[in-house]
Structure 1
Amino acid sequence: MLPRPLQPWGRLCRWSNPFVQLLALTVVTFGVLAPLTCDQLLYSYYFIRSWYLNPMSQEFVKQNQEDGLSALRYFERLQTPNTSERLGSEVFHPWLLITIITVQRPPEFHYVLQVASRFHRLLQECGPPCRHHQILLCNVETDPGSHQDAQLLSNFMAVVNHYGGHKKVEPGMNQFEKEKQDYTYCLEKSLQTYDPEYVLLVEDDAVPEEEIFPVLQHLLQTRFSKAHLRDALYVKLYHPERLQRYINPEPMRILEWLGVGMFFGSLLGLAYAWASGRSSLVWPIVLFFAVYSMLLVELVGRHYFLELRRLAPPLYNVVPVTECCTPAMLFSASSARRALGYLKELRCRRGFAKDTALYSLLRVRGERAFVVEPNLVRHVKRNVLLIAPTNPSRKGKD
C-alpha cells in the first residue's frame, strides 16, 4: 500500500521546517534564557523588582559608604602640598579645566571626596597627555566653612566660594533659581580665573569613569574638529540609564535600533543559512532575525548594549542631546560664554530647572548640543537611591 500523503499540518510540525525552528528559538530565548540571565539587571525589562530591588539598594548604600571612606583615606594619605604645589593653584590657561560644583551633603557618603579623589588619581595616572588639565573646586554651600570635605580638599586644589562675607542668598529665591545661579557662578569663575580652552562642569555626585580622559582627548581633538560638532553649545557626558531605552520619545534612537536589526538580522540570517545547509538568504529569514535582534537588545537593555562601546575611544557615540540632566557638562570657552549670557536672562522655577533651561535654549537660540554614549560619569546618588521607574518616558530630574 502506498503511504498516505503528509497532511499540511504534518509538514508544518516537522523539525526541519524553518517555522518550527525559529519559533523554538524565540520561545527558548525570550521565555527561558533571557529571564534566567537578566533577572538581576537593573535596567532590563526582565529585572524582578520585588526580589532584588531592596537587597540591591542596601548593597549600593553599603558600597557607597565604603567608597566614601576610601576617598577620605585617599586624601588623608596624601602629603599635604605647599600652596604653590596645589593641583591647579598656579597653572593658568589649561586646556581642560575640571570644575567640581559642591554643596554640603550627607557626611557619611563623602560625595565630593569620591569625585575629587577619582579625578585626582586619574590625572596622576594619565601623565603627559593630561599635563594641561586642572581641577577647581567650586563651593556653593551658603555657609562655606561648614562644608568640611571642601575644607579638606582646599589643601590639595584651588577652591572658590560662591557665598560668604557680604555675598548672601537673595531672600525668597527658590531652590531651582539658586541652583542655576550657583551653576553660572562656577562656570563664569572658571573662565575668569583660568581662561581654559574647555570647561568640564561636574556636580559632586558624578564620579568619572576610568576611561574619561582618553575618550575626551579623542573626542575633542578628533571628533569635535568636524564642522557640525565644533560649535555645540554643550556636550553632556551623562544621561540616566533608565532613559536610554529605544522605546523612548527620542527619534534618533529609532534609526539606531533599525540599524541594529539590519546588521544582526543579516549576520544571524547568514549563520542560520550556513547551519541549515541553505545556499542563499531569503528575506523572511532576515526579517525574522532583524526583529529578533531588535527585541532582544531592547528587552535585555540598551544600556548594556552600549557598554560594548567602552572597548575603545573611537567606538563612543555622539548623538543629539536629550533634556535631562546635568551631572557632567562639557563647554568650550566660547560656548560657555554664550551659555552664561543665555542663562542670566532666564529665571528657573519648579518644572523649569537648569537642565530644562539649557535644553530650551537649543530651540530658542538655534543652538546645537550633543550627548556622549555610553556615560563618562557614574551618578552616585542615583545608585544609592536606585529609582528605576517602569515607565521609560518619565523624565524625572536626577
Structure 2
Amino acid sequence: MRYEGAGLTVVFVLTFFVGLPVLCGTWPYSAYYRGEGVGSSSSSADDDSSALAYLSQVETAQQQPEEEEDGRRPFLLVTIVTVRREGQFYLSRVVARLHQLLSKYNNEQHAGNDDTIVIRAMICNVNDDPQLHREALHLQRIFPLVQRRDQLSVAIHNLMDKEKEDYVFCLNASRRSAADYILILEDDAVPHDDLLPVTRRFIDYFNQQRPRRRADFFYVKLYHPERLQNYLQPEPWRIAEWLAVSVLSVYLLQVVFRFRLRRHSFWLVYFMALVECLGRPHLLQLKRWMLARLVADPAAGYNLLQATECCTPAMLFSNTSAATASAFLSSITCRKGYAKDTALYLHSRQSGGRLQSFVVEPNLVQHIGRVSTLRRNH
C-alpha cells in the first residue's frame, strides 16, 4: 500500500507539475497558459490584411450591396452594431467573414433548390458622429448601412446607458426589415464557420417546441466568455457535468483500456483536476470536432442551455422578442453594475418563466475586442 501511494503521488506530480505545464503553455483557456500577448499583434495584422484583401475583391465584383437587389422578406437579418475604433479593423474582419459565410450558405441552398430561406446582413453605425466612422461608410458597398443622426440626451459619463440606447436603436432598425429573426452582432464578434447553419437549426428547434412552450424565446446568446466556461462557476449543473466527465474517464480506463485501478476516489479527483486544468472550452471544442465527423447535423456538437448573465457580442432574437427587449431597455436607465446584459438577464429571470433565455455552447463567434464594442472612443 505504501508503494502504491508513492506511485500515485509520482503520477500526480508528473501530470500537474511537469506534463501539463509543458503541454498546455500555449492553450489559451488552460490553467497553465502563459502566452498572453505573444504574437497577438502579428496575428491581428495578418487577419486585418486578409479581411481587407477579401473585401477589395468583393467590391470589385459588385457595385452595390447584394441585399438591395432582392426584395424578398428575410428569414434572418444579421445586424452588425459598430462604432469607430481608431487604428482597428474589427468591423472589416466581421463583415468579411460574414460575407464569406453568407455566400457559402446561399450557394448551398441554391444547390439544394431551397429558395425559401433568405438571410441578409446590414451594418448599424451608432458612432456619435456617423460621418467620422469612415470604415462603416466604406463598407456600405458590401452590406446596407443604417446610422443614427439624432443627438442623444445621455450624459457623457453614463456610457452604460449610451450602449443601451445604441442597442435599442439597432434593434428597432432591424425590426423594420420585417425579418422573422434578428441576430445582433457587435463589431468585435467574428463569426465561426457554423454560425448560420447552427443558428437556423436552433430556430427550427424552437419552432417545433413552440406549441408546448406557448411562447417564443426571449433571446439566445451565441457567445459566453471562455474564462467563465470552466467548471468552477456558479452554475450548479456544471458540477454534475464535471463529475460525469470524471466518472466516465475512470470507466474508460478500467473497462476500455483495462487498467486495474484500486483507489477510485483518487482517480476521480485526479480526472476532476485534470479536466479543470485543461480548460472546459477545449473539451467543448473537442466534442464539437468529434461529433461533426460522426453526425451530419452541424448543431449536434452544440449545447443549448439556460442563459448566464454576461455578455452581448452575439444575441439572437425573434422579431417579437426584439420588440419586447427594445421596450424594456427603453424603460430603464443603465449604469455601472447594471449594463444592458445584466438588465436583460434579470428581466428574463424575473418574468416567471414567461421570457426564456438561452446560451449556446461552444461559442459561435470569436470575441476579438479588448473592450465593449459600443464604448465611446475618444
Q: Which interval holds the TM-score relative to the shorter structure?
A: 0.7 to 0.9
Residue aligning to 1:266: 251
The partner residue of 2:191 within 170, 194, 208 is: 208
| Aligned mate of 2:90, from 70, 88, 111 | 111
The question of whether the paired residues in 2 share the 8 Å contact of 1:89 and 1:158 is answered with: no
Q: 1:69 to 1:138 in 2, by over 3 A?
A: same
Distance apart, 1:155 and its partner CA: 1.4
Structure 1 residues 379 and 230: CA distance shift in structure 2, 3 A:
farther
Which structure: larger Rg? 1
Q: What percentage of aligned pairs have identical amino acids?
A: 38
Whether the 8 Å contact between 1:218 and 1:314 is mirrored in structure 2 is: no
- The equivalent of 1:191 in structure 2 is 175
Counterparts of 2:18 and 2:8, CA distance in 1? 15
Task: For residues 96-131 of structure 1, give each alpha carbon's deviation from its aligned partner in whole angstroms, at most 9, with x where no partner exists.
Answer: 110000110123x21111001100011111224395
**Superposed CA offset, 1:342-389 (max 9, x none):** 11111111221111111111122232211111111001114xx8xxxx
Cα offset for 1:228?
Answer: 5.6
Give per-residue Cα distances to partners, 1:210-247, cap 9 Å, x unaligned: 12122223222236633469732111111111111111
Which residue in 1 is equivalent to 2:345?
Answer: 359
Write the distance in 2 (CA, Å) between the matches of 1:73 and 1:229.
Answer: 47
Aligned to 2:71: 91
C-alpha distance in structure 1 between counterparts of 2:250 and 2:125, whole Å:
52
1:303 aligns with 2:246: no
1:182 alignment partner, one of 154, 159, 166: 166
Partner of 1:341: 327
Partner of 1:381: 369
In the aligned structure 1, how far is the partner of 2:185 from the partner of 2:205? Answer: 23
TM-score (structure 1 length as normaliser): 0.81
Q: Which residue of 1 aligns with 2:41?
A: 61
Moved more, 227-236 or 178-187: 227-236
78, 81, 89: which one pairs with 1:101?
Answer: 81
| Aligned equivalent of 1:170, options 153, 156, 180 | 153
**Structure 2 residue identity aligned to 1:25:** V
Q: What residue in structure 2 maps to residue 121 of structure 1?
A: 100
Q: Which amino acid aligns with 1:252?
A: W
Q: Helix, strand or coil for the counterpart of 2:335? A: coil
CA change 1:330–1:88 in 2 (3 A) is farther
* Aligned match of 1:251: 236
Which residue does 1:392 correspond to in 2?
none
Q: Is the 8 A contact 1:265 1:288 kept in 2?
A: no
Give the paired residue count. Answer: 350
Gaps of 5+ in 2: 111-116, 293-298, 372-378
Q: What is the one-letter code of the residue matched to 1:372? A: V
Amino acid at match of 1:86: E
Q: How many Å separate the matches in 2 of 1:53 and 1:349?
A: 31
Asked whether the equivalents of residues 219 and 315 of structure 2 are also in contact (C-alpha less than 8 Å), the reply is yes
Q: Which has the higher contact order (CA 8 A, sep 6+)?
A: 2
1:295 and 1:336 mapped to 2: Cα distance? Answer: 41
Aligned 8 A contact 2:72 2:118 in 1:
no
TM-aligned CA distance change 1:209 to 1:321, over 3 Å: same
Query: Would the alpha carbon gap of residues 223 and 33 (structure 1) be closer, same or farther in structure 2, given more than 3 Å must change?
Result: farther
User: Residue 257 and residue 363 in structure 1: after superposition, are their counterparts in 2 closer, same or farther (change >3 A)?
Assistant: same
The match for 1:134 among 101, 120, 125 is: 120
Q: Secondary structure at the match of 2:12?
A: helix
Return closer, same or farther for 1:229/1:248 CA change in 2, 3 Å cut-off.
farther
User: Matches of 1:229 and 1:369 in 2, distance apart?
Assistant: 14
Asked if 1:323 is matched to 2:309, the reply is: yes
Which amino acid letter does the alignment assign opposite residue 282 of structure 2?
Y
User: Secondary structure of the residue that 2:336 maps to in structure 1?
Assistant: coil
* Superposed displacement of residue 303, structure 1: 1.4
CA RMSD of aligned residues (A): 2.3
Compute the displacement of 1:34 (Å). 1.1
- AA partner of residue 306 (structure 2): P
Query: Which of these residues, 217, 224, 230, is aligned with residue 232 of structure 1?
Result: 217
